Each structure stands twice: as structure tokens, then as C-alpha cells.
């Protein structure tokens, strides 16, 4: 099969973020993995949080989380990072679900929105601790790069109607 990015005929791997691309193009799109040295260099996080498999996490999203943590000045609890799923962008190692302690979920969203890195942002109202999904996908201008979730398994546009519900929690 032909890689959709470089056009070379090889074994291609499909992911939601990359489409059907070769290993090399997949790495170019998703960026480099965290190394033990990179984990050491962070200001706030370590590989011992709930990243799934820390070696499969990409530098882009972990750095963005560390920057966000520094900006908000409050603890951030990681719910999950890399996951072996067939849907979404967690299998690419570019996504984290989390909540920021002591911040309303709307304020969490506004804080994360300041960072260019978070191309994908989802707002989850139904979690025990309402929080965000953040990821460093390729494109933030697609309609599916922003969403809200009021109930498990239900996703809605991040619009006025959603924020009217969010403001009540």
C-alpha cells in the first residue's frame, strides 16, 4: 500500500491522527517519544503518573502539560495518556485526559486554550472530577477537534448550549 504522505509503497499503519502512512511519516507527524532524560527534565510531571505507557508518550503533549501546570499553578491529575484503543488519538501517544485541582472545568478549558499545542480539546462534565482531554493532533480547524461531553459516550459541539450546561456544574 502507498503511504498517503510520502507516496512510497510499503507497509502502512492507520491511525486517526495520521491516516494511512508509513512508520517514518507517522513519527514525523506525531513527533518524538519521551525519553528517560526528557522525563527527568520536566518541572512538574514524572513518568510515574497515569500515562499508560510513559515510553509511548510524545514529547509535544507532555511538554504542553508541563507548561499548562506551570501556568495554572495548581496540581494537575492525569487520568490517562497512551492507551491501546482502536478509536481516538490516545493510541498515538499525543493525548492526555486530566483535571486541574480547584478550577472550574470552564476555567480549565480557558487555561488550556491559551496553549497553541492543544490542537484537540474536549470538555467532560460527567467525570467524578470534571476535566479535559487535550491532544497535539495535526489540525485544530476540523470540527472534531473541539467537543463537549455531558454523558458517557455522548459528544456534542463545544457551543453556547454546552457551556450553559457546564456553567451549572
Interacting residues toward Zn ion by CB under 5 A: 3, 5-6, 22, 25, 97, 133
3-class secondary structure, 61: helix
Between CA 99 and CA 121 the distance in angstroms is 12
Please report how close the Cβ of residue 40 comes to Zn ion at its closest, in angstroms. Answer: 26
Please report how close the Cβ of residue 17 comes to Zn ion at its closest, in angstroms. Answer: 13
Please report how close the Cβ of residue 4 comes to Zn ion at its closest, in angstroms. Answer: 8
Helices 59-72/105-113 angle, 10° precision: 120
Nearest to 107, CA basis, from 119, 95, 99: 99
Please report how close the Cβ of residue 37 comes to Zn ion at its closest, in angstroms. Answer: 26
Of 80 and 106, the one with the shorter C-beta distance to Zn ion is: 80
Q: Are 82 and 62 in contact (CB under 8 A)?
A: no
Of 86 and 160, the one with the shorter C-beta distance to Zn ion is: 86
Nearest to 95, CA basis, from 110, 79, 108: 79
**b/e map 118-149, b = 16+ CB within 10 Å:** bbbbbbbbeeeebbbbbbbbbeeeeeebbbbb
Please report how close the Cβ of residue 167 comes to Zn ion at its closest, in angstroms. Answer: 22
Of 78 and 106, the one with the shorter C-beta distance to Zn ion is: 78
3-class secondary structure, 100: strand
Of 1 and 6, the one with the shorter C-beta distance to Zn ion is: 6
Of 5 and 140, the one with the shorter C-beta distance to Zn ion is: 5
3-class secondary structure, 78: strand
Amino acid at each position: 500500500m502507498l503511504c498517503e504522505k510520502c507516496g512510497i509503497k510499503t507497509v502502512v499503519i492507520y491511525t486517526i491522527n495520521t491516516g494511512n502512512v508509513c512508520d517514518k511519516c507517522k513519527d514525523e507527524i506525531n513527533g518524538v517519544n519521551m525519553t528517560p532524560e526528557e522525563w527527568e527534565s520536566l518541572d512538574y510531571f514524572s513518568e510515574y503518573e497515569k500515562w499508560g505507557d510513559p515510553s509511548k508518550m510524545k514529547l509535544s503533549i507532555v511538554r504542553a502539560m508541563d507548561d499548562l501546570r506551570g501556568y495554572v499553578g495548581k496540581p494537575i491529575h492525569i487520568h490517562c495518556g497512551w492507551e491501546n484503543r482502536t478509536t481516538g488519538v490516545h493510541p498515538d501517544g499525543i493525548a492526555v485526559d486530566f483535571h486541574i485541582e480547584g478550577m472550574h472545568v470552564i476555567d480549565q478549558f480557558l487555561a488550556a486554550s491559551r496553549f497553541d499545542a492543544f490542537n484537540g480539546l474536549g470538555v467532560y462534565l460527567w467525570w467524578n472530577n470534571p476535566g479535559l482531554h487535550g491532544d497535539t493532533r495535526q489540525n485544530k480547524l476540523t470540527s472534531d477537534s473541539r467537543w463537549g461531553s455531558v454523558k458517557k459516550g455522548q459528544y456534542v459541539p463545544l457551543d453556547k448550549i454546552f457551556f450553559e450546561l457546564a456553567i451549572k456544574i
